[in-house]
Structure 1
Amino acid sequence: MTQEFRIVVVCTANICRSPMAEAMIRHALRAGGPDAAGVVVESAGVYGHEGSPIAPGSASALRALGIEDDGHRGRRLTTAIVGAADLVLTMEEGHRDAILAGTPEAGDRTFTLREFARLVGGQAPPSGTGAAARARALVATAGSRRTRLPWPGVDDVPDPYGGPSEGYHACAALILGEVGTLLRPLLGT
């Protein structure tokens, strides 16, 4: 039996970007069949709005893609959540930096979503039986390829919260593209 692999997606309040990414990853994992069963995804916010539903604009953008939010409720990120994660994907470099300030030992498995997709995109699926084993190999690969970019914010996913619906749909499209890039080698597709 393959050990579980836990992905945690993080944004500011856990009501907009991270729940969209969580829902997209979960949707793709369900479509991945039994091989993906060992991969679990959840989300949290650096300043999580405990118990709040997903932002209406985010829910609308997901529905337009044929994805449901599964009754998401916001929660605040804790060191226990980070400690239990095999991979932490943040929406902004500032989120990553906040996590590493409180949990420096998570540095080898904490990336922005865009950074991780860039580092593993185009990779042949790693050897290993099951998506969880491939995910572990991808985290190791990403860590070995990581370099610090010379300009801040290049890997941030813009926050559409409070803006027009077009912003939510553009954000969802950006996240969906990055999720697709990082899941191809994980799912072996």
Structure 2
Amino acid sequence: MKRISILFVCMGNICRSPLAEGILRQLVAEAGLTGHFTVDSAGTGGWHEGEPPDRRSIATAKSHGIDISGQRARRIRPSDLSDFDLILAMDRQNLAALGKSARPGANIHLFGEIALRTGEDIPDPYYGGPEGFELVYTRLLAGCSSLLETLGVERASCSGNTSSVR
């Protein structure tokens, strides 16, 4: 079975994308599929490179039994655009930024379209309080659960072909 690699992208890689990475890693581990997935996150901007996730993201994840404190922010690299099977932007602004540097046919999508099937942006909770981080966590959990279910069903029926998410 082909290993599936997923990259979550937000602006600074300290709020939304680290939460999504932590959530999907946890779900994959709980499903016993750790060896079948590579999960990472990055930002379109490099302001926070090398820093841990925002303390509120860490606290929100921790309150749900997920430890993201060891993650470090990084800016997306050109190689990411070809190395990952699926790249999911948290909002349209980051989707547009990714699209400017991507090769034609790159597998870049809006998280809300692929994972939630609503087309919604995942709001940036950076300038708000804990309730915004909890709302983001809830949307990311719903989307990551749906994404894993979709990929799991496909994997079982198509021997690892991820073409339906492309």
What's the TM-score bracket when you normalise by the shorter of the two chains? 0.7 to 0.9
> Gaps spanning 5+ residues in structure 1: where?
122-153
Moved over 3 A (4+): none
- Cα distance in 2 for partners of 1:184, 1:3 equals 17
TM-score relative to the length of structure 1? 0.75
Matched with 1:26 is 25
TM-score relative to the length of structure 2? 0.85
What is the DSSP-based 3-state SS (H/G/I as helix, E as strand, rest coil) of the residue aligned with 1:104? coil
Counterpart AA for 1:113: F
51-60 vs 96-105, which moves further: 96-105
By percentage of residues, which structure has more helix? 1
| Cα pair 2:4 2:36 within 8 Å, conserved | yes
- What aligned pairs does 1:68-107 form with structure 2 within 5 A after superposition? 68-69=67-68, 71-107=70-106
Counterpart AA for 1:95: N
- The alignment status of 1:113 with 2:78, answered yes or no, reads no
Counterpart AA for 2:112: R
Distance 1:175 1:15, change over 3 A: same
What is the DSSP-based 3-state SS (H/G/I as helix, E as strand, rest coil) of the residue aligned with 2:79? helix
State the Cα distance separating 1:89 from its structure 2 match: 0.6
Aligned residues: 153
Counterpart AA for 1:176: L
Structural RMSD (CA) = 1.9
Q: Percent of counterpart pairs with the same letter?
A: 31
Deviations 1:102-141 (A, max 9, x none): 113254x11111100245x9xxxxxxxxxxxxxxxxxxxx
> Gaps spanning 5+ residues in structure 2: where?
157-166
Counterpart AA for 2:71: H
